[in-house]
Amino acid sequence: MFGYVIRRLIAAIPIALGVSMVCFALVFLAPGDPVQTLLPPDADAETVARLKALYGLDRPIVVQYFDWLWRVAGGDFGRSIANGRPVIEEIQRSLGNTVLLAGLSVLIAFSIAFVLGVIAGRKSGTWLDRLVTGVAVLGVSIPNYWLAIVLVIIFSVEMMILPSSGTAGDTFDPTSWDHIRYLILPVITLSMIPVGIIARTTRSAVSEVMNQEFVVTLRANGLPEWRVLKHAIKNALPPVLAVMGLQFGTLMGGSILVETVYAWPGSGYLLSKAILTRDVPVLQGTILVLAMIFVVTNLAVDLFQSTLDPRIRRG
């Protein structure tokens, strides 16, 4: 098991290299320029050239890449071109905000979706199933930025009971209502993203398992229905967990729209800002960290799966 984890972690290194290389190349291939943000729109060419030299952006891309890589290997992510702050600090702060948001959303989404999926799967073919499937399709189809705006209109603008955007502006304090209230709308919005897909996966997994012979055997042995369900769920879990893992990864990096509408200072927001300003160090650092989170989440899911299901246990 330990060897397996180590091997998987080592396998993450080429992924990280690949991701960072592609990202670096894309930034330089796209039109636009990182020093643009530093300069007033009317700066002359000579100023641009001098500034590029001061930031080392006039060197060949390959040299810049390896220089960046070397420093990252030593734990130095550099400084943001746009605001001069250390990249690692920017990532820590925004990632903290996103983990809070994504973590809570995941908890809510997974619980709701799982319960819905199990109900639908067990009652497969009934009106209850169709209702759950309908809700799931709705959940997948509603654009989350639209839902975000609608929630803001209802709860912030009309009822004025929840703030429309931002954070309380300090380190999050889970005991303070003043802090929690800022989280409610973004968490609800974000949790709608994975509900549909997880409910559907759970439904198909459960209904498939319910038709298997061991379920018939269990019932024939006179096990109460709730214990039958327990066995069935355990067997249906692996594919559901895999999807959940992927969805968590998506929420970590894919909440750009929700974070923008709510002006929530998370990693998606940071990423979109970095893209618009071609802030290469921030972009590279954030993408690298997000890629690693994705890798680690998948690994954790795999390990969890193999613990649950001996059939897919690895060496």
What is the binding site for other proteins (CB under 8 A)?
30-33, 35-48, 50-51, 54-55, 79, 82-86, 89-90, 93-94, 149, 152-153, 156-157, 160-167, 169-170, 177-178, 181, 260-263, 265, 270, 273, 276-278
Nearer to other proteins, 41 or 74 (CB): 41
Name the residue nearer to other proteins (CB basis): 85 or 227: 85
Kindly state the smallest distance separating residue 147's Cβ from other proteins, in Å.
Answer: 13
Contacts of 49 (CB under 8 A, 6+ apart): 58
| CB-based contact 290:253 (threshold 8 Å) | yes
Q: Are the C-beta atoms of 252 and 243 separated by less than 8 Å?
A: no
**Toward other proteins, which CB reaches closer, 71 or 130?**
71
Least Å distance between CB 144 and other proteins?
A: 14
Check: CB of residue 151 under 8 Å from CB of residue 240. no
**CB of 207 or CB of 284, closer to other proteins:** 284
Of 152 and 243, which has the nearer Cβ to other proteins? Answer: 152
Please report how close the Cβ of residue 289 comes to other proteins at its closest, in angstroms: 16
Minimum distance of other proteins from residue 235's CB (angstroms): 39
Phi and psi at 86, nearest 5°, equal -60, 135
Nearest to 119 by CA among 238, 234, 233: 233
CB of 100 to other proteins, least distance (A): 14
Residues ≥6 apart with Cβ < 8 Å to 101? 183, 186, 187, 190, 255, 259, 264, 266
